[in-house]
Structure 1
Amino acid sequence: MTVDDRFSERETPSERPLGTRSEIITGPVSDWATDFSHTEPEWAADPYAIQDDLRGRCPIARTERFGGGWLPTRYEDVAAIAYDTDNFSSRSIVMSNFRAARELAPVGSIPPISSDPPFHHHARKLLLPAFTKSAVAKREAATRAFCHSLIDLMEGQEVVDAARDYAQHIPMRVIADMLGFPPEDGPKFRRFIESALEGINLPADERVERMGQVFAYLLEQIRDHVENPRDDLTTYLINAELGGARLDPSHVSGTIALLLIAGIDTTWSAIGASLWHLARTPADRERLVAEPELVPTAMEELLRAYAPVTMARLVKEDMRWRGVDMKAEDWILLSFPAANRDPAQFERADEVVIDREVNRHAAFGLGIHRCVGSHLARMELRVALEVWLERVPAFSLADPDAVTWATGQVRGPRTLPLRIG
């Protein structure tokens, strides 16, 4: 089979069996300990108060929504599950109204984050060369120049939307450049993100259709790379091998989907949340303007305090785990934000201490699925903050009530109006 033959059919993960479906359940939460839902507006607005309450009275909460699931809020429980690949599967990582079919394991639809051992190790290893510190360092100058160009476009404006006009564009450009995708396709990327991460309460058929659009776009880009190879990550994946064979087309498209969707939204959210904090905390903003060398340390604290990512797992078999009876196919909502604010793990856990020296946070995950792109995300966040603080040293929230936050498992500002000066 030639490379061209592999991509001649339009077969995508979204067209395969989707497994267990459950009814769509939305609406007000009666008790977060027994009826939690990460899709409700109060969770998007402020999940930390909810998580703190649960950690004190019901550290492993339960819900019957989405076919049943659990929410651990203590660092030790989150870490234990993240490292336990014997009892918990990663084949579905977005807690929604259906689960990926068991037959998709151990690869999953978006490897390596959806992969279980032993396949996961090999799929992850393929990506490591593109995300080393040295590889990421080569992208810093272009990223910095792009950040400056975004601020140039804001010249003369008294109020800007830092989420839509700044934060979202930075990872979009970086990932597009890495994959060799047209940078002008940014609006499409935003729609793909909304479909994958924020549209989880849609009927399964509609969700499948939307994801089908994502993979149709990816296949178009992959075929263009087959016909016109170049030095980028897409061409690398097309030519990569596992076990002496080239990657399955669904592996190539699934991995690219992961990089495109997760690689953009997580960093976009982290940049936006950091700017939101600095806009509402003048003392921290003024200190970083005066001490720019503190930005890397402050960045880690902002990642801890406003960790954007929550991942999901599926229970493999019926079992009793730390006092609760889990059933096969129960969801586990693995909240790294909750773990990062556990007072048993961090001093002054509910405070943002921008010069915190010991900071082993879980913003990039724990266990075998710890973010492969953490060096890239750190570079983007650091550069975005350095450039913003250099060019816009004085800013505040134009209207605190106008700030909106993404719902679902990646939380960050979607609108962030800032007053300049």
Structure 2
Amino acid sequence: MTVDDRFAEDHREPRGDAPLQGTRTEPVIGPVSDWTTDFSHMEPEWTADPYPIQDDLRRRCPIAHTGRFGGGWLPTRYEDVAAIAYDTERFSSRSVVMSNFRPPREIAPVGGVPPISSDPPFHHDARKLLLPAFTRTAVAKREAETRALCHELIDALEGRDVVDAARDYAQHIPARVIADMLGFPTDDGPRFREFIENTLEGVNLPPEERIERMDKVFDYLFKQIRDHVAHPRDDLTTYLIEAELYGRKLEPSHVAGTIALLLIAGIDTTWSAIGASLWHLARTPADRERLVAEPELLPTAMEEFLRAYAPVTMARMVKEDMRWGGVDMKADDWVLLSFPAANRDPAQFDRADEVVIDREVNRHAAFGLGIHRCVGSHLARMELRLALEVWLERVPVFELADPAAVHWAPGQVRGPRTLPLRVG
């Protein structure tokens, strides 16, 4: 089979949430009756401010349960989150987005978006393919163009008293960087935003509609892949098309799934981290003024922003019925690994509920724990550091224009979607 045959125009592979033989549940939407027995990460109060809820659960019920999404669990202690993240024998990663649709067990160990959806032993080899593109050395080569982009975005804000730092600044930085890495059109940013919303914020949609939306994502990806087949170039997409595992070229579903992961997760997580950091500085003048005066402190402060406002929560699926941590988990129950909750566990961090921008010991879990720790962490750190560095250099004085106008993304990646700042 040639590369062209693999990516024929009418070629379609089962992928991600698409297999129709998966298990569906009716969506349950509405106010939470009791967070210990009916939690939902999609409800407005969680989206607006999940930390008091997590803190209360950690004290009263460290592993909460819900009947929503067909049944799931929410550990809130660092030790429990870490234990599950490292336990690949009893917990599967075949679907990392908790929704009302469970893909069938047959898609393991690859999953729909490898390697984050992959279980051992396949996971190790799929992840290894990506490592060269995300080393410190490879990422450092992108610093100059990323810094120039940050300046370009701020130039476009000149003359405005109020700017939306999420929509007009934060979202564009990772979108442009990952598009360039993949060799995708850099002006497709609005389309990437739509893909993110469809994938991560539409988890309560009817499964058929969710599948239809995911098809749009993969239709776009296969179009880009076929263009790379016809016109190879030096980028990550061509690399994946030509890569081999076990002496064979990657399956089309593997190539497209990995690109979907890089595109969607690579944008949303960093967009959210940049926005949350700017939100904190806008509402905390003392920290903003100190970082402007002491720019050398930024790398340390950045790690604290990642700890305090970790954007990512990942799901696992229970493999078999078992008793774990004092609760009875059933096969195919979801488990939400809330890295934000783990990062605010007072048993793990001193002054866990405070943002301490000169915190020296900070082994946070913002990039995950275990075998799925974020492969792009060096890239994310570079983007976050430069975004904050350039912003503080160019816009040293800013505040929230209207705290009530700040809106946060619902779901498993949390960051401000609108962030109106008064500047100057």
TM-score by length of 2: 0.99
Q: Which residue identity does 1:384 align to in structure 2? A: A
Q: Is the 8 A contact 1:364 1:371 kept in 2?
A: yes
1:351-387 deviation digits (Å, cap 9, x = unpaired)? 0000000000000000000000000000000000000
CA distance in 1, matches of 2:413, 2:394: 28
- Name structure 1 gaps, 5 residues minimum: none
Per the alignment, residue 310 of structure 2 pairs with: 307
1:131-154 per-position Cα deviation (integer Å, ceiling 9, x unaligned): 000000000000000000000000
Matched residue of 1:355: which SS?
coil
Select 1:68's aligned residue among 71, 74, 78. Answer: 71
User: How many angstroms does 1:196 deviate by?
Assistant: 0.1
Mapped pair 1:243 → 2:246: yes
Counterpart-to-counterpart distance in 1, 2:416 and 2:102: 28
Q: Counterpart amino acid of 1:47?
A: P
User: Could you report, residue by residue, the CA deviation over 1:314-356 in whole angstroms, capped at 9, with x for unpaired residues?
Assistant: 0000000011000000000110000000000000000000000
Which whole-Å deviations, capped at 9, do the CAs of 1:199-245 have from their partners, x for residues lacking one? 11110000000000000000000000000000000000000000000
Structure 2 portions without partners, runs of 5+: none
> Which residue of 2 is the match for residue 143 of structure 1?
146
1:11 aligns with 2:12: yes
Give the match for residue 51 of structure 1: 54
Equivalent residues of 2:19, 2:103 under 8 A apart: no
Say if 1:301 and 1:354, in contact at 8 Å, map to a contact too: yes
Aligned-residue offset at 1:16: 2.9
Which of these residues, 83, 90, 97, is aligned with residue 80 of structure 1? 83
Q: Match for residue 374 of structure 1?
A: 377
1:18 touches 1:99 (CA, 8 Å); kept in 2?
no
Q: Who is 2:118 aligned against?
A: 115
> 2: CA distance between counterparts of 1:217 and 1:29?
37
Q: Is the 8 A contact 1:309 1:337 kept in 2?
A: yes
SS at match of 2:422: strand
- Check the 8 A contact 1:10/1:216 in 2, yes or no: no
1:387 to 387, 390, 397: 390
Which one of 179, 182, 185 corresponds to residue 179 of structure 1? Answer: 182
What secondary structure sits across from 1:160 in the alignment?
A: strand
Tell me the CA shift for residue 19 of structure 1.
1.1
Alignment of 1:159-178 (within 5 A): 159-178=162-181
Q: Which of 316, 319, 322 in structure 2 is aligned with 1:319?
A: 322
Match of 1:342 among 330, 342, 345: 345
Q: Secondary structure at the match of 1:122?
A: helix
Tell me, yes or no, if structure 1 residue 154 matches structure 2 residue 157. yes
Indicate the SS of the match to 1:289.
helix
In 2: Cα distance, 1:123 partner to 1:317 partner: 25
Q: Matched residue of 1:279: which SS?
A: helix
Whole-angstrom distance in 2 between the partners of 1:70 and 1:401: 31
Counterpart pick for 1:291 among 261, 273, 294: 294
1:155-304 to structure 2, matched below 5 A, reads: 155-304=158-307
TM-aligned CA deviation for residue 100 of structure 1: 1.2
Q: CA deviation at 1:187?
A: 0.5
Other-structure match for 1:399: 402
Distance 1:57 1:150 in 2: 46
Q: How far does the alpha carbon of each residue in 1:99-155 deviate from its partner, in whole angstroms, 9 at most, with x for none? A: 111000000000000000000000000000000000000000000000000000000
Aligned with 1:293: secondary structure?
Answer: helix
Task: Quote the RMSD (CA, aligned, Å).
Answer: 0.6
- Which residue identity lines up with residue 50 of structure 1 in the other structure? I
SS at match of 1:351: coil
Cα separation, 1, equivalents of 2:263 and 2:30: 31
| AA at the equivalent of 1:48 | Y
Aligned partners of 1:242 and 1:249: how far apart in 2?
13
- Which digits, 9 at most, give the CA deviation of each residue in 1:158-206, with x for residues without a partner? 0000000000000000000000000011000000000000011110000
SS of aligned partner of 1:234: helix
Note closer, same or farther for the CA distance 1:18–1:146 as it changes in structure 2 (3 Å cut).
farther
1: CA distance, partners of 2:276 / 2:18? 35
- Number of corresponding residues: 421
What is the alpha-carbon distance in structure 2 between the residues aligned to residue 215 and residue 254 of structure 1?
Answer: 8
Q: TM-score, normalised by structure 1?
A: 0.99
